[in-house]
Structure 1
């Protein structure tokens, strides 16, 4: 109905107008002061990235209803004492990227006039410890504070002594190396970001109210919570990524921890060193001192694996890039609701799914890039793992796996077995050894599986019915030189969306049956031309790197360009004088030629050029070619005519020639 539409448009216009009157944007306006002609009822004013170096007294007196004010990136040196007079409703103030380290004392007097201030951003202001503590005096209503990218070195009890309502604090990218009671006066703090500092350790952790702690990218060697506290810690997320931890963190004995990120440390387990009878000279405990020389009340029993604390509610454990070579007895069993275990790039040699008692809640298991040569699992164990969906076993030393490892996991959707010496069984029933393991896998009729990666498994041939009864959408078979695959993939023609055949030495392959294929990798195959069967597909990603393509016919490029989104072309000996296809892809804005600046071509002299900057003038066009032929035709004729004329003159008119030379060259002098 036109009338209803008109009413709706009118309401929308009124709503947008109301929003515009409440919010005023004056960013990047080269302003040197706060504009005075704005409506007095605005509630938010943004003055970011101007040239307001000083905020004079009463400069905001005309805007008493302001709730949000942003002055980031102005080069502000100070706020005069009465800058915020009459701003009783202001709740959010952004002063980031300024120079408030110069006039920090007077700025504090201005901030104290804001009784409802809840959020304050002081990031990137070159603030030192004492400056920050002065700036924050008496800001008792503050709930959110950003002090990132400053010059803080040390936190103590005076740093945040008046911030009793503080809930979230961002201190990342400072130079903090010590915390001595710095958070004892913030009993309501729930989210703390200490990332990218220089903390050597976090001991005596007793912030029971904290929910999220990010201490990643420091130099932390020890994380220890106070073990004598009977209160339950509210900590749910602990991030200690990229530190120098040697031991698994000593967590609280009562906690609600759900997410624990420990990747890229030096963690390993030392249960084998707990017996002092075998190692009588080992130190069994350690005490900690702060920089004042006081002894901490935290003492760690180094080899006692029971001091890890409460991890019964843990759902995500990230231990990537450590030195773990085994799990202590019962370690996995203490995490009954674990859903994601990420263990890639460690030193595991054996994965014992039976002994470790992996929970039925496990959803993702990544043990890639370890040293696994054995997987142990019985029928009962595999039945328990009914929720396992993603399994990554790539980059290990596996030569045999349990016979029914994959077929007994009903929810399995993704398996990566790349770079192991595991084949594909010829028959539906693999030949099992005495320990019920096999050197090949039966993939037939795994109906839940959608993604399968078998890169670098030394496969030479795939049985014709290897993938029968499957509904794979992603199949990766690259790095299997000499692999013969065409017949075995026909059963996947209706479902396959990504196919990886890089470095398989394929030369002729009919891709036309795979009508749902939108991603194809045929790199490193020495292909001299593009397979014509690709033109029948709606490919979005095509990898043609490191082949022997000299050109791509313009007709093929024109067919592929409308659907392509990502195209890899580097490492081919393209002909610089046949670049129509390149210009076609370049002018198609939806095609991303990855590493375009590295695509090379050869000119007629076999010299290498960057195709992106090569000019076709070096090759010449048709008009230039025709002119060249004319020149080559007429120059010899002209030279012949001149030669005949000279001979004729010397022979039949020698006197005329002498007179002409004398007349031109021997002119009389003036004396």
Structure 2
């Protein structure tokens, strides 16, 4: 039996008709997940050059009341039709990544149960966030920077824009996402955080800026973030901070500064976050640390391995009450004190 690729070179209309018949026979099962990538790929053989439009899928999901997870990624899908997802109103997760989508259509608004939407690696340059209510959107690796429309009150709680080669986070105009509580901008090319970053966003609780190129945080850039609990600045190019960098973060609980270029522990600046509980400083270039600086502190855990701190200073630090001093990824053959690397790396 021949298995040549040309055997699969059928028109999109014929393919969808065929798959519709197959799917209709499967509707008797309470099907909760569908990896559509497996079904559509044969349509996109080397000989076929036409891009598949969502219009070809109109009505294909009729009756799929139990479908909760739909993966349409890695196809040549171009646009959304108002009837595209009719019959699949109980979808909770929808992956439209790696397609040719340019415009977000209101058909998504019919998916009232949708909790997770992936639109990564398309050609979208505008997302009408004001029309989405509490969706968890994954928007990583977009080919263009995003802009926002806000004719209505936006209730977006979580925004993920990673692997997008983003240099200036202010271009996202995140300040208008006033209900935002969780922001992930990891794996980008951000170099600085200024006072316009997250202006007017007062309910933010978690910020992940890891794996960027951040060298500078302007004093006051995070002011009024009184609900912020976790701040991840690991894997950046930070060497230190100016007064006011953490001022006003009265509820900050966890601060991750690992894998930067910090050379000095700045007690006076870090204490601006007066209720900081966990501080992670592993894999920096810190040369010295004075145990007496921790005699009165809110910290309960300090992770400080793999720096240049003399072993004697680490030993004294371990004597401080109430602070659990730890390290990360210690090699048994490296010089260490209680699992914390010390001395010359």
| 5+ residue gaps, structure 1 | 1-177, 204-220, 272-304, 429-441, 558-567, 575-671
Q: Does 1:534 align with 2:318?
A: yes
Distance in 2 separating the partners of 1:356 and 1:490: 37
1:114-513 equivalences in 2 (<5 Å)? 181-185=21-25, 188-193=28-33, 199-201=38-40, 226-227=57-58, 234=65, 237-240=68-71, 244-247=74-77, 251-253=84-86, 255-262=88-95, 266-269=98-101, 271=102, 305=103, 309-313=107-111, 315-319=114-118, 322-327=120-125, 329=126, 331-333=127-129, 335-344=131-140, 346-353=141-148, 355=149, 360-374=154-168, 375-376=170-171, 382-383=175-176, 385-399=177-191, 403-418=195-210, 419-421=212-214, 423-426=216-219, 428=220, 442-470=221-249, 471-484=251-264, 485-492=266-273, 495-509=275-289, 510=291, 511-513=294-296
Q: 1:421 to 1:486 in 2, by over 3 A?
A: same
Equivalent residues in 2 for 1:502-651 (5 A)?
A: 502-509=282-289, 510=291, 511-518=294-301, 520-529=302-311, 530-535=314-319, 536-539=321-324, 542-543=327-328, 545=330, 549-552=334-337, 557=338
Is this contact kept in 2: 1:527–1:548, CA < 8 A?
A: no
Contact 2:282 2:303 in 1 (8 A): yes
Shift of 1:358: 9.0
- State how 1:81-100 maps to structure 2 within 5 Å: none
1:313-344 Cα deviation digits (max 9, x unpaired): 35434427x423533x5x53585224211123
CA gap 1:257/1:183 in 2 versus in 1, 3 angstroms: closer
Q: Map Cα deviations across residues 37-79 of structure 1 (whole Å, 9 max, x no partner).
A: xxxxxxxxxxxxxxxxxxxxxxxxxxxxxxxxxxxxxxxxxxx
Distance 1:259 1:184, change over 3 A: closer
Distance 1:252 1:516, change over 3 A: same
TM-score normalised by L of structure 2: 0.69
- Find the structure with the greater CA-based Rg: 1
RMSD: 4.3
Q: TM-score, normalised by structure 1?
A: 0.39
Instruction: Give the whole-Å Cα distance in 2 for the aligned partners of 1:500 and 1:523.
Output: 9
Summarize the Cα distance change of 1:317–1:332 in structure 2 as closer, same or farther, 3 Å threshold. farther
Partners of 2:74 and 2:303 lie apart in 1 by: 39
Structure 1 SS opposite 2:183: strand
Paired residue total: 305
> Residues 539, 261 of structure 1: CA spacing in aligned structure 2 closer, same or farther, 3 A cutoff?
farther
- Kept in 2: contact 1:444–1:469 (CA 8 A): yes
Please give the per-residue CA displacement for 1:178-216, whole angstroms capped at 9, x wherever unaligned: 967345456553334456x9934289xxxxxxxxxxxxx
Shift in Å, 1:408: 1.0
Q: Following the alignment from structure 1 to structure 2, what is the Cα–Cα distance between the partners of residues 184 and 349? A: 38
Contact 2:68-2:93 at 8 Å conserved across structures: yes
Q: Secondary structure at the match of 2:272?
A: helix
Q: Deviations over 1:348-399 (max 9, x none)?
A: 442323x477962211101022111343366xx735x222101112222234
**8 Å CA contact retained: 2:194, 2:217:** no
Unaligned runs of 5+ residues in structure 2 are 1-17, 43-50
- Check whether the contact 1:512–1:533 (CA below 8 A) recurs between aligned residues: no
Matched-pair contact (CA < 8 Å) for 2:65–2:88: yes
> Secondary structure of 1:181's match?
helix
The DSSP-based 3-state class of the residue aligned with 2:245 is coil
Q: Is the 8 A contact 2:70 2:91 kept in 1?
A: no
The secondary structure found in structure 2 opposite 1:446 is coil
The structural deviation recorded for 1:501 is: 1.1
